[in-house]
C-alpha cells in the first residue's frame, strides 16, 4: 500500500470526518458569537485566533486530499465545493470597513461544508440539484397561474384597493402573501369582501391551486428525487458488495484448487506422511467453511440493503 493510499484512507476515515464536522460546528458558533458587539469586544482576539486555527486545519485537510487523490480530487463535485469554500477565506482584502464585512460574510460560507461531509445532508443537496428541472417546470406553471390571477385581481379590485391591487406588480406581491397564508383572511380577503361580497370566489380557488396544489407539488418532486437517488445508492452499494464477494470467492477457489492439486500430488507420490495429508485436508475444510461464511455474509448484507 502506497503512502498516498494510506493518506487517502486516513483523511476519509470516520474519525477524521467526525473531527471536521465538530470543527465546522465550533466555527459556526464562533461566527454567531462574533455578531455580538459585547462578546466581540471582550473576546474578539480569541475568536479570531480560533477561527484562524480551524481554517488552518481545513487547509491541511484539503491539501492532504489533493496529495492523496491527485487529479481524481477534481472529479468529485463535493471536493471542488470544499476547495472553493476554503479558498474564499484566503482571498486578500483591504483594511476598509466594507472589505472586512465582505470577508466576514465569505467566512460564514465555511459552515456550508457540513453539507458535503454529512451523508444525509449530501443526499438532500443532491436531491435538490437533481430536482431542479422539475422544480423549474413547476415554477413556470405557478408563474403563469400567478400572472393570470394578478391580471384578474388588478381589474376587479385595483380601483377600490390600490395599495394591494393597484398595479400588476402589487397584485402579484399581494397574491404571494395570500399564497403563504400570512394574514390572508383578516388582513386581505375579509376587507376586500366587505366591498366585494363574492371575492371569496376569487381567493379560495387561488389558495387551493397555488398553496395546496402547486406548493405540495414542489415537495412531491423533491421527495421523489430523494427516493430515486437513495435507490441508486443502495444499488451501487449492493453491486460493490457483490463484486467484493465474488473476488474473495474466486481467491478462495484458487487456493482450494492449489491445495487439492498438492493433495493429489502427495497421493501420486504415495507419501506415507499422514500428518501432512491430514493438515492439507484440514486446510481444505477451512477454506470451504470460509467460502460458505462469505456467501452467507454477502446474502445477509444484501437483504439489509
CATH 1.10.287.70 fits 132-226, yes or no: yes
Question: What is the predicted pLDDT for the residue at 168?
Answer: 93
Q: What's the Cα-to-Cα distance from 159 to each of 101, 154, 166, 167, 189, rounded to whole Å?
A: 45, 8, 7, 10, 16
d(CA 98, CA 113): 25
Question: What is the predicted pLDDT for the residue at 90?
Answer: 76
Average pLDDT (31-49) is 87
The mean-pLDDT minimum among 95-99, 201-205, 243-247, 275-279 falls in: 95-99
Is 80 exceeded by the pLDDT of residue 143?
yes
Is 70 exceeded by the pLDDT of residue 279?
no
What is the per-residue pLDDT across 41-68, written as a single tens digit (0 to 9) for each?
888 889 889 988 988 998 999 999 999 8
Burial class (CB in 10 A: 0-12, 13-18, 19+), 157: buried
Find which of 78-87, 201-210, 224-233, 284-293 is predicted with most confidence, using mean pLDDT: 201-210
Written as nine digits, the cell of 143 is 408563474
Question: What is the predicted pLDDT for the residue at 206?
Answer: 93
Fold topology of 3-117: 1.20.120
- Under the phi-then-psi rule, with left for phi > 0, alpha for psi from -120 to 50, and beta for the rest, what region is 270? left
What is the per-residue pLDDT across 255-273, written as a single tens digit (0 to 9) for each?
777 777 766 666 665 555 5
Rounded (10°) CA dihedral 183, 188, 190, 194: 160
d(CA 305, CA 301): 6
Query: Mean pLDDT in the chain?
Result: 81
Question: What is the predicted pLDDT for the residue at 95?
Answer: 55
What is the per-residue pLDDT across 75-130, written as a single tens digit (0 to 9) for each?
888 888 888 888 877 776 555 555 556 666 767 777 878 887 887 888 888 888 88
Question: What is the predicted pLDDT for the residue at 287?
Answer: 60
Nearest to 16 by CA among 80, 52, 49, 64: 64
Is 60 exceeded by the pLDDT of residue 299?
no
d(CA 109, CA 76): 19
Nearest to 34 by CA among 21, 22, 49: 49
Question: What is the predicted pLDDT for the residue at 151?
Answer: 95
Counting every residue, how long is the chain?
305
Amino acid at each position: 500500500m502506497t503512502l498516498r493510499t494510506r493518506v487517502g484512507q486516513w483523511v476519509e476515515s470516520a474519525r477524521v470526518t467526525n473531527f471536521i464536522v465538530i470543527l465546522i460546528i465550533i466555527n459556526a458558533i464562533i461566527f454567531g458569537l462574533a455578531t455580538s458587539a459585547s462578546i466581540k469586544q471582550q473576546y474578539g482576539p480569541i475568536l479570531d485566533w480560533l477561527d484562524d486555527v480551524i481554517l488552518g486545519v481545513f487547509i491541511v485537510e484539503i491539501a492532504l486530499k489533493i496529495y492523496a487523490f491527485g487529479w481524481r480530487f477534481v472529479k468529485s463535485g463535493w471536493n471542488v465545493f470544499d476547495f472553493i469554500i476554503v479558498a474564499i477565506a484566503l482571498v486578500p482584502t483591504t483594511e476598509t470597513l466594507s472589505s472586512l464585512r465582505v470577508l466576514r460574510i465569505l467566512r460564514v460560507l465555511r459552515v456550508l461544508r457540513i453539507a458535503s461531509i454529512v451523508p444525509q445532508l449530501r443526499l438532500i443537496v443532491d436531491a435538490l440539484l437533481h430536482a431542479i428541472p422539475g422544480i423549474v417546470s413547476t415554477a413556470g406553471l405557478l408563474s403563469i397561474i400567478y400572472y393570470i390571477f394578478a391580471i384578474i385581481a388588478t381589474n376587479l379590485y385595483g380601483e377600490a384597493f390600490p395599495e394591494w391591487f393597484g398595479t400588476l406588480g402589487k397584485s402579484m406581491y399581494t397574491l404571494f402573501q395570500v399564497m403563504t397564508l400570512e394574514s390572508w383572511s383578516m388582513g386581505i380577503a375579509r376587507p376586500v369582501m366587505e366591498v366585494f361580497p363574492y371575492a371569496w370566489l376569487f381567493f379560495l380557488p387561488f389558495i387551493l391551486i397555488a398553496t395546496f396544489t402547486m406548493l405540495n407539488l414542489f415537495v412531491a418532486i423533491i421527495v421523489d428525487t430523494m427516493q430515486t437517488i437513495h435507490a441508486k445508492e443502495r444499488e451501487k452499494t449492493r453491486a460493490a458488495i457483490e463484486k467484493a464477494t465474488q473476488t474473495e470467492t474466486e481467491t478462495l477457489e484458487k487456493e482450494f484448487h492449489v491445495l487439492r492439486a498438492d493433495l493429489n500430488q502427495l497421493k501420486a507420490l504415495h507419501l506415507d506422511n499422514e500428518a501432512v495429508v491430514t493438515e492439507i485436508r484440514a486446510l481444505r475444510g477451512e477454506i470451504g467453511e470460509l467460502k460458505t461464511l462469505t456467501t452467507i455474509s454477502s446474502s445477509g448484507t444484501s437483504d439489509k440493503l
